[in-house]
Amino acid sequence: MQYRIDPQSGNQLSVLGFGLMRLPRGITGIDQEQTTGLLKQAVQAGVNYFDTAYVYAGSEQAFGKALQATGLRDSLYLATKLPHQMVRSAADLDRIFEEQLKRLQTERIDYYLIHNLPDLASWQRLVGLGIEEWISKKKASGQISQIGFSFHGKQNDFLELLDAYAWQFTQIQYNYLDVNYQAGMTGLKAAQQKGLMVVIMEPLRGGKLATGLPAAASAVLKNADPNASLASWAFNWIWDQAEPTVVLSGMNSAEQLAENLATADQASVGLLSPEQHKALDQVIQIIQKSYRIPCTSCSYCMPCPHGVNIPDCFNAYNTRYSQGLVSGYTQYFSGIRPHQPERYSGPSKCQACGACERKCPQNLAIIDSLLEVRKHMEAAWTRPLIAVIGKII
Ligand code: SF4
Ligand code: SF4
């Protein structure tokens, strides 16, 4: 296992972190025996960063039992997350945190995150409820060591959030297709320059970079290295860079864990050769060519004076047709928010002013393309679905 230093705490963290969102399941729910076995196998191989969340159904409880059964609590760093939408008062902060300690059968959380903090307004709401004082108290008592936030929103919001508080770490989505999406490379570098530890999630873009590549893209990588798995290319692309500290992978089988461990053993900054970078560039081009709207997510067209998140509209739409309905709508909900009228940044807000088209280096017909996105992503049949999902979220 390779390790990188958390610049804030000095902790030596394994480059491969264990994401606990999708633990192995049996007929009646999470398979406790397998979960405990995976914990042992991972720690024995040197993994020391484990990430769960209050809202990962059954995950905190199952991991707590595994920690208890193995006695490995002091051999690892434990990260979990606050569901900030459930916080309505300062008392909720204590109530939820105490419940998490109980579920995890521990007295402290090493890395505590505000889960999926979307923007400054959401943070300010929490500040109004006294979260800053609450964090100070928890840190003074030793119940929380490092405080951070995870993020799936827009890049500008991420940059604002970075400046809003003395964060110690952050967790962002990042992979070779998402260089300009969400926080992106700009956000990664900004966080690192501020001295934050950066944890990467979705290195395989929900598994699609391992199992959902177009055949021509897979062929390029197989040709470049017949022995390397598609997943290892995606991990190595991140580990090649100095800014990320931990890369999370949601592993739910011993085989998957063993494969990722083997890749992580070789992880080092600058590990990819110029030829390997070229192969990945080719893959990105092939994937982008398979897109319905050839947007590169460069954001030169932004900001839209009427609040349309142009690159995210196109990204989610392309994903829907290149990687499936679920992936496409997952992106649409997290970026465009059709279920939240006050935060909605979708194609229906376009006033056809044309300001964006003059700035697009790809010369895209943005106004027409937004109409296309609207027609397909917000068709009449999707509206009841959007309303239902909105209620669930
Ligand atoms: S044309 Fe539409 S998307 Fe483009 S800047 Fe104007 S309102 Fe925004
Ligand atoms: S400028 Fe063009 S290519 Fe860049 S994000 Fe906007 S629409 Fe996409």
pLDDT for res 213: 84
> Domain holding 273: CATH number?
3.20.20.100
Instruction: Give the model's pLDDT for residue 300.
Output: 79
User: Is the CB–ligand 1 distance for residue 313 below 6 Å?
Assistant: no
Domain-located, residue 297: no
Cis previous bond, 83, omega within 30: no
Q: Mark whether 171 and 115 lie in a shared domain.
A: yes
Ligand with the closest atom to the CA of 303: 1
Q: What is the pLDDT of residue 368?
A: 96
Residue at a domain's end among 261, 278, 295 = 278
Instruction: Give tens-digit pLDDT for 61-79.
Output: 999 999 999 999 999 999 9
How large a percentage of the chain has pLDDT more than 70?
Answer: 99
Residues 268 and 320 both lie in one domain: no
pLDDT tops 70 at residue 393: no
Over range 307-313, report the average pLDDT: 94
210 shares its domain with 77: yes
Entry pTM: 0.81
**Domain match, 337 and 267 both:** no
The answer to whether residue 273 scores a pLDDT higher than 90 is yes
Is there an atom of ligand 1 within 6 Å of 356 CB? yes
Secondary structure string (H, E, C) spanning 308-329:
CCHHHHHHHHHHHHHHCHHHHH
Instruction: Decide whether any atom of ligand 1 lies within 6 Å of the 350 Cβ.
Output: yes
End-of-domain residue from the set 231, 260, 278: 278
Distances (CA, A) of 12 to 72, 139, 293: 17, 20, 43
364 Cα: distance to centroid of ligand 2 (angstroms): 7
Domain holding 324, by residue range, is 310-392
Identify whether residues 314 and 267 lie together within a single domain. no
Query: Does 283 contact ligand 2 (Cβ within 6 A)?
Result: no
The tens digit of pLDDT for each residue in 347-388 reads: 999 999 999 998 886 788 999 999 999 999 998 888 887 888
Could you tell me if residue 293 is inside a domain?
no
Least confident of 100-109, 166-175, 225-234, 331-340: 331-340
Q: What is the mean pLDDT of residues 244-251?
A: 95
Q: Which ligand lies nearest the alpha carbon of 362?
A: 2
Percent of the chain at pLDDT exceeding 90: 74
How many Å from the N-terminal Cα to the C-terminal Cα in the chain? 37
Q: Provide mean pLDDT across the span 202-229.
A: 89
Q: Are residues 274 and 377 in the same domain?
A: no
**pLDDT for res 252:** 86
**Ligand 1 nearest-atom number relative to CA 310:** 3
The mean pLDDT value for 182-202 works out to 95
Do residues 326 and 359 touch, judged by C-beta distance below 8 A? Answer: no
Residues 332 and 235 in one domain: no
Find the ligand nearest to 363 CA.
2
- What is the number of the ligand 1 atom nearest to the C-alpha of 352? 1
Q: What is the Å distance from ligand 1's center to 362 Cα?
A: 16
Q: Ligand 2 centroid vs 240 CA: distance in angstroms?
A: 27
Calculate the average pLDDT of the chain: 93
Asked whether residue 217 is domain-assigned, the answer is yes
Which of 257, 278, 299 represents a domain boundary (last residue)? Answer: 278
